[in-house]
Amino acid sequence: MTELTARKAFWRGYLDCAPFILIVIPYSMLFGVVARDAGLDLFQTMSMTILVIAGAAQFTALALLQDNAPVFIALLTALAVNLRMAMYSAALVPHIGHARFSVRALMAYLMVDQAFAVCVKTYEERPDMQPAAKVAYYFGCMMLICPFWYSFTFVGAYVGQAIPASLSLDFALPICFIALTGPLLRSVPHYVAALVSGVAILCFAWVPWNLGIMVAATLAMISGAQTELYLRRRAAKGAA
């Protein structure tokens, strides 16, 4: 494999994240429309999108406020949706943790599911990647997603036309996460983890405030790790 300079890595990240525009455009527009329908003005809608940049949490918070839930319940529920990103943060430490404090803060602000999935896949496939190239790659991923997220929220909020329910844009969200998962399934432990996650979330759907996701994810990580250890032990035994 050829050595990646920081500049090349940036553009590689940009291109690798490009497919997600297909999802980000309708999804961010949908948020703009839903926010206006909920009675937010243009400035409020954009403030929320820019301060939070986390689609699922924004939809959750908005829906709860509309249902007249107390503010702190809406806040906690939406934060629980975002707790998964603490796991992303941890998983990114070995790759981009070396960056300056201010750069890390900016990377944290920009952290979204798509960029995380694409970055981690690339970092693991290219262990030869230089630390500076990894940071550049990360920003390349986000430089594509973020402007689209802002601008199409604005378009949705500005146009304000209700998107016909018959388009079922709600289904774009699970499809997006399925598309993120597929390429990550590279080994038996990955399959085990994904399967445990899917089954566990159905079993723990009753856990309040969306915390079932954290339960399922923790069980799945342990299953993946244990499967990897088991396979390693078995391989070692076979070799001996």
Q: The tokens of 26 are what? A: 């309708």
Minimum distance from residue 147 beta carbon to another protein (Å): 19
Q: Binding residue for another protein (CB under 8 A) from 5, 7, 37, 108?
A: 108
Minimum distance from residue 143 beta carbon to another protein (Å): 17
Q: Is 109 in the site for another protein (CB under 8 A)?
A: yes
Q: Is 181 in the site for another protein (CB under 8 A)?
A: yes
Element (H, E) at 219: helix 212-239
Site for another protein in 185-214 (CB under 8 A): 185, 189-191, 193-198, 200-202, 205, 212-213
Site for another protein in 119-158 (CB under 8 A): 120-121, 124
C-beta of residue 6 within 8 angstroms of C-beta of residue 133: yes
Q: Is 25 in the site for another protein (CB under 8 A)?
A: no
Minimum distance from residue 237 beta carbon to another protein (Å): 19
Site for another protein in 59-88 (CB under 8 A): 61-62, 65-66, 71, 74-75, 78-79, 82-88
Q: Is 230 in the site for another protein (CB under 8 A)?
A: no
Sequence-distant (6+) residues with CB within 8 A of 185 are 191, 194
Distance CA 137, CA 118 (A): 10
DSSP-based helix, strand, coil % in the chain, nearest 5: 80, 0, 20
Q: Is 15 in the site for another protein (CB under 8 A)?
A: no
C-beta of residue 150 within 8 angstroms of C-beta of residue 25: no
Q: Binding residue for another protein (CB under 8 A) from 13, 55, 156, 224?
A: 224
Centroid of chain to Cα 29: 18
Rank residues 8 and 190 by Cβ distance to another protein and give the closer one. Answer: 190
**Contact window for another protein (CB under 8 A) among 7-15, 140-148, 156-164, 166-174:** 166-174
* CA triple 23-27-28, angle to 5 deg: 115
Residue type, 240: A
Q: Is 116 in the site for another protein (CB under 8 A)?
A: yes
C-beta of residue 9 within 8 angstroms of C-beta of residue 129: yes
